Amino acid sequence: MTGTHSANSSTPVAVVTGGARGIGLAIGQWFLSNGYRVALLDIDADTLMPAAARLQDAGRVLAVHCDVSDPAQVQSAIEKVEAHFGRIDSLVNNAGIAVFKPIGATTFEEWRRVLATNLDGAFLCTQACAPIMVRTGGGSIVNIASISGLRASTLRVAYGTSKAALIHLTKQQAVELGTVGIRVNAIAPGPVETEMAKLVHSVAIRSDYHDVIPLERYGTPEEIASATGFLCSKAASYVNGQVLAVDGGFDAAGVGLP
Ligand code: NAD
């Protein structure tokens, strides 16, 4: 291994899904900057491979092409991570897709695809990683949910439902896996400037977000990454089953989503 941090078999390992860009890539960089070795999993190999190579301390990065909604691909990807690094200490279930459409316009295929990626993916990756974490004394998992999982609104029948379910999955996982030394928490980001936001946030939604967020701006991927890193760190060693809104005060204001 090369890089500014030296690595050995006891160096912690973080797995980040959807790590090719946006919030996942920033989370990967946070772990690297904090001395971890990192496995980035993503369905988009063309974006993942160059992104992983460009990261600071890329010698401590393993990039694995994987669709998190496919049980066989998840099993094989996590086996690769264990074979390469020998352990897994943190898992961030970040891979997600958004379809913003009214109920009548959302096809069954879109509904299934959103739930398969945002919910099944977190279930499958947790199921694959947890036994490996247990072998080295435990670990921590963070599920990247959304304020759309806290507050119902128009256009988000599939996306909001998937994130609300992910928040409940977080609590189920925390209760069960806490007994074997794995803490599980969720982050509920407000709007963050990424390719996803470019895709689904219309000019009207952007303007409305400005009005309902007390800090009057979008978050950055790095702001979600540092909160995720905190939840994975020893500083959060008694935090389990919680949802941390990283949203500029949106949830506290108690207003509706645009
Ligand atoms: P993004 O679209 O920029 O990045 C998502 C990444 O996930 C991409 O690299 C994509 O290829 C990957 N991915 C998609 N489907 C996958 C699959 N089946 N298997 C593996 N990888 C897959 O999005 P982002 O804004 O960085 O979002 C990251 C997470 O944060 C998502 O779960 C999203 O729902 C959540 N989130 C984003 C915002 C926002 O405003 N950007 C707000 C709240 C929550």
Residue 101 is classified by DSSP as B
Helix, strand, or coil here: 43? Answer: coil
In the structure, which protein residues have their CB atom closer than 6 angstroms to any atom of ligand 1? 17-18, 20-24, 42-44, 66-69, 94-98, 117, 121, 144, 146, 189, 191-192, 194-197
**Angle (nearest 5°) at CA 153 between 151 and 158:** 95
DSSP H or E segment with residue 246: strand 243-246
pLDDT of 116 reads: 98
Q: Is the pTM of this model over 0.90?
A: yes
Q: Check if the beta carbon of residue 95 is closer than 8 Å to that of residue 89.
A: no
Name the token pair of 155.
């256009």
Residue pointed to by tokens 């992983």? 52
Q: Which two tokens stand for residue 245?
A: 């809104």
Other CB atoms within 10 A of residue 71 CB: 14
- Which runs of consecutive H residues, i.e. helices, occur in the chain? 22-33, 45-54, 71-85, 108-115, 121-135, 157-177, 195-200, 203-212, 221-232, 250-253
- What is the number of the ligand 1 atom nearest to the C-alpha of 98? 34
* Identity of the amino acid at 195: E
**What does each C-alpha distance from 217 to 68, 105, 248, 252, 253 come to in angstroms?**
31, 30, 8, 15, 14
Task: Give the closest residue (by CA) to ligand 1 atom 7.
Answer: 18
Q: For ligand 1, what atom is nearest to the CA of residue 196? A: 2
Q: At 179, which amino acid appears?
A: T
Distance 94 CA to ligand 1 centre (A): 6
Cα separation, 246 vs 228, in Å, equals 10
Rounded CA-CA distance 258/248 in Å is 15
Residue whose CA is at the smallest distance from ligand 1 atom 44: 146
Tokens 């909604």 correspond to what residue?
69
Pocket test for ligand 1, best of 40, 69, 73, 192 (most atoms within 8 A of CB): 192
CA quadruple 224, 251, 126, 115: dihedral positive or negative? negative
Low-confidence ranges of the chain (pLDDT < 50): 1-3
Q: Is 241 exposed, middle or buried (0-12, 13-18, 19+ CB in 10 A)?
A: middle
| Residue among 166, 196, 218, 247 whose CB has most ligand 1 atoms within 8 A, to mutate | 196
pLDDT at 4: 56
Could you report the per-residue pLDDT of 211-247, keeping only the tens digit for each?
Answer: 999 999 999 999 999 999 999 999 999 999 999 999 9
Give the residue, by CA position, lying nearest to ligand 1 atom 17: 67
Name, in order, each residue with C-beta under 8 angstroms of 218's C-beta and a sequence gap of 6 or more. 190, 191, 192, 193, 197, 209
